Every structure is written in structure tokens, then in C-alpha cells.
Amino acid sequence: MFDREAYEKRVEWFKDARFGMFIHWGLYAIPARGEWVRSVEEMPEEEYRPFFEEFDPKDFDPRAWARAAKNAGMKYAVMTAKHHDGFCLFDSALTDWKSTNTPCGKDLVREYLDAFRAEGLKVGLYYSLLDWHHPDYPHYQDANHPMRNHPECSNENRVFSRYVEYMHGQVRELCSNYGKLDILWFDFSYKNDYFDLTGEAWEATKLVRMVRELQPDVIIDNRLEVSGAGFGSLVTDDPSEFSGDFVSPEQIIPPEGIFDNAGRPMTWEACITMNDNWGYHAKDHHFKPASTIIKKLVECVSKSGNMLLNVGPDARGNIPVESLKILADIGTWMKKNSASIYGCAGSGLAKPENGRITQNGNKLYYHVMEPAIGDVPLYGVQREKIAKVRLLSDMSERSISDNWMVNNYPDISFTAVSETPELPDPVDTVLEITLK
């Protein structure tokens, strides 16, 4: 039986934090063509193994990563402990395919966790259910395996239950050996004409029970049950044990937010790349401007969701300079306006045409993203319900307008945001409206 009270308590910090850093990093940073390079190029392991032999990120400084996240206003982070290539950034006793056996020689997960905790951030680990390295994982005719089109890589002697046992063992290591984890981010369930790798194919009930025993407060995404394309049974009144704690839309912000079958707002997190790849891609400079990401973060929060924004460090262990610049610019805005993000959710008011609205208790945060001719209309906010209005960035007073121009529209409040035609912040000028 689903315990909604325990569930709401578990996700409370997550809904307060609203903004986190995703970190995709591994051997694929060396070919520098994205984290799916083995699958996309159908690369055999003998061509991939040389990257293992040379992996040695000399510039790796997890404290610098943590400071960049904190200064951007992020409250938590999730790093890939193991991606689809099976390579582990932690010192697993169950495989030799791990960072401690490369020239790097380090348990990178442990160093990441220590550094981010030291900066006061919540910490999470991503773990791929897929594994293109393990001999018992399906090769031929799998939906994603690099050798999926190679009949010579027959699955005849591959025992999937052995892989599932291995996978459970690694999750146990992560939950037992690295202190308190705040998030476990599994990725991902899928099926094709030959394999159904969803839910109990992973022995998901058994896995989640083990995780909850070892890490009772951890929150889990919904991808043991579905892919990034689905919501799963979490939207019902009786979710499965492995339904997870939050929905995980990828590279999209749900147009209306996400609600369960009873109309209740769901806990969700949109995971978003800065450019077009999760893992480092040397030729991908298609970075979203900080202004866009700020507006999209506000959009997520206005729909009662989180944003998990990705960085893909390079083979030396450096976050790309474009990403660092974007994080710094986001941080400049967050330092003045984070009260409109943390602890906030949707207001129940319709989206105004000049911006968005977030809310925390009796505080409405009106995000003005378009300049007005004259005073700014505060759509949906009734004058008689307003106690005061302040410009959030400096808490300076903004009065409710009362003149012949605005009084023609008694159902809409107006305020003079700026004495010039330009907004104080051209990206997003935030007004804090205290309700009576």
C-alpha cells in the first residue's frame, strides 16, 4: 500500500531545492563525441578499450565543480556512477572496468560526493540499468547495444539473471559504502520486438526494497518502470513499489506541468542539456544562453517542477568554459532572485502574457519578462488582495498604480516597475507581491 504521507515527507527537500546539476562523465569524454558514441557508431569494445587504458583526468577538481554549482544557485547534484558503457567511476569490487584500474587510479564517485557535501549540496548518483560491457547483457538484437546488428554476437550463452545480480550488487555497494545519498537516478527501462527490459525484468521490487532498507530517505526517479517518455504508475492512487518518487521528463518542459489521475500536482524534474549532448562533445558549441535557461528554470518552478541542468566535463576533468560562463551568469541572477525559486511552486493563476508567476505561501513572485508601454500589468492579481509590492533584486518599493490610464481596467493591478522603457533586469525582473 502506497504511503503518501511518507512519500510527501521524502520529497519535501527536493521540491524546495528546485535546481540541480547533472554531471555526465566517463571514458566517452576522450573520443569526445557524446556519451552514446559506442552505440551510435556501433563501436566494438576493442576499439573502445584504448580509452580505458589512457583515462587520466589530470585537472579533476571536484571542489571546483561543487563551487560552480553552488555559485549558480544549485542545491543538489547527480553524477554518473556508471553509464551505458558499463564503466564505473567508483571502486566496485564486482568489476575491473572502473576508474581505479585506469591511469587515473581514483574513486571518482567518492571524491565527488565528499566535495559536494563539503559545499552543503545534496548529492545523488546516476546508475545505468544498461551495460554494454557486461558479457551477460543482451548484445544481438537489443535496442541499444553497439553489437545489436551483429549476429556473431549471439546471446546464446548470455544469462541475463547473472547481469541483474551484478547490477543489484553494484547498487548495494553504492548504497552501503558512500554515506547518505539523497537521490538515486536509474536510467532507463525500454523494450523492442525481442526484449522487454522494464520493471520486474530488473527485479525492480527487490532492488527498491534493498535501496530503501539501506538508504531510507533517498528519492528515486521513475525509470525503473518507464523510460524518459513515460510517467508510470506514480500518477495513479496505487503506484508500484518501483514507480519512484518523481517523473523525469527529458529535454522538454511539460506544457501544462504534470498531474496525477486525481488532479494533484506531481513531483517532477526536467533534465536538460546546455548544448546538444550529455557527455562531452568537442564540436558541439550549440549552447543555450543563460537567459534562456533562467527563463526555463522559472517555467519549471511555475509548473511545480525542478530543473536538472547538465554539464559534461572533458577528458582532463574540466567543465567546458561555455558551461562555466552560463553557470556564472545564472548565479548572478539567482543571487538576487532565488527567493522566487526555492520553496516555490505554481500559483494556480493563469500564465500571464508578459512572464510567469511562482508562489511561496503568501508571496507571489511575478516574473516580468517583457517591457510594457507605461505601467506593467499584473495579470490575475487583484488590487484589493495586495499588501505590498517590492522589486525582489533590491527590495525597493513599487506602488500600485492609480491613474486615469490604468483605472479603465479595474480587474487588473498595475505597477510602475521602471522609470525608463527598459526593465531593471532585461532577462527577468521579479516582483515580490505580498498578499493580504
Instruction: Please answer whether residues 236 and 200 qualify as being in contact, where contact means their C-beta atoms are separated by less than 8 angstroms.
Output: no
Q: Are strands 363-368 and 429-435 parallel, antiparallel or unpaired?
A: antiparallel
Q: What are phi and psi of 398, to 5 degrees?
A: -130, 125
Tell me how far apart the alpha carbons of residues 76 and 66 are, in angstroms, rounded to a whole number: 9
Burial string for 218-229 (b: 16+ CB within 10 Å, else e) reads bbbbbbbbbbbe
Q: Is the peptide bond before 19 cis (omega within 30 degrees of 0)?
A: no
Sign, Cα dihedral of 421, 425, 428, 432? negative
Measured CA distances, 186 to 27, 44, 80 (Å): 19, 25, 10
The angle subtended at Cα 386 by Cα 380 and Cα 387, nearest 5°, is 165
Which amino acid belongs to residue 66? A
Look up cell 523525469; give the residue. 248
* Residue 45 Cα to chain centre, angstroms: 30
- Per-residue pLDDT 10s for the chain (436 aa) are 889 999 999 999 999 999 999 999 999 999 999 999 999 999 999 999 999 999 999 999 999 999 999 999 999 999 999 999 999 999 999 999 999 999 999 999 999 999 999 999 999 999 999 999 999 999 999 999 999 999 999 999 999 999 999 999 999 999 999 999 999 999 999 999 999 999 999 999 999 999 999 999 999 999 999 998 889 999 999 999 999 999 999 999 999 999 999 999 999 999 999 999 999 999 999 999 999 999 999 999 999 999 999 999 999 999 999 999 999 999 999 999 999 999 999 999 999 999 999 999 999 999 999 999 999 999 999 999 999 999 999 999 999 999 999 999 999 999 999 988 899 999 999 999 999 9
Tell me how far apart the alpha carbons of residues 357 and 302 are, in angstroms, rounded to a whole number: 6
Sign, Cα dihedral of 393, 398, 400, 403? negative
Q: What are phi and psi of 314, to 5 degrees?
A: -85, -175
If we measure between CA atoms, which residue out of 291, 290, 301 comes closest to residue 342?
Answer: 301
Domains in the chain: ranges and CATH:
4-340 (3.20.20.80), 355-435 (2.60.40)
CB atoms closer than 10 angstroms to residue 272: 20
Q: Is 0.85 surpassed by the pTM of this model?
A: yes
Tell me how far apart the alpha carbons of residues 249 and 81 are, in angstroms, rounded to a whole number: 21
| pLDDT of 22 | 99
Tell me how far apart the alpha carbons of residues 351 and 358 are, in angstroms, rounded to a whole number: 10
Which DSSP letter does residue 221 get? Answer: B
| pLDDT of 230 | 86
If we measure between CA atoms, which residue out of 251, 252, 183 comes closest to residue 222?
Answer: 183
Secondary-structure breakdown of the chain: helix, strand, coil percentages, each rounded to the nearest 5: 30, 20, 50
Q: Are strands 122-128 and 183-187 parallel, antiparallel or unpaired?
A: parallel
Tell me how far apart the alpha carbons of residues 236 and 83 are, in angstroms, rounded to a whole number: 30
For the purposes of burial, counting CB atoms within 10 Å of the CB of 306, is it exposed (0-12), middle (13-18) or buried (19 or more)? buried
Instruction: Please answer whether residues 377 and 404 qualify as being in contact, where contact means their C-beta atoms are separated by less than 8 angstroms.
Output: no
Tell me how far apart the alpha carbons of residues 88 and 170 are, in angstroms, rounded to a whole number: 10
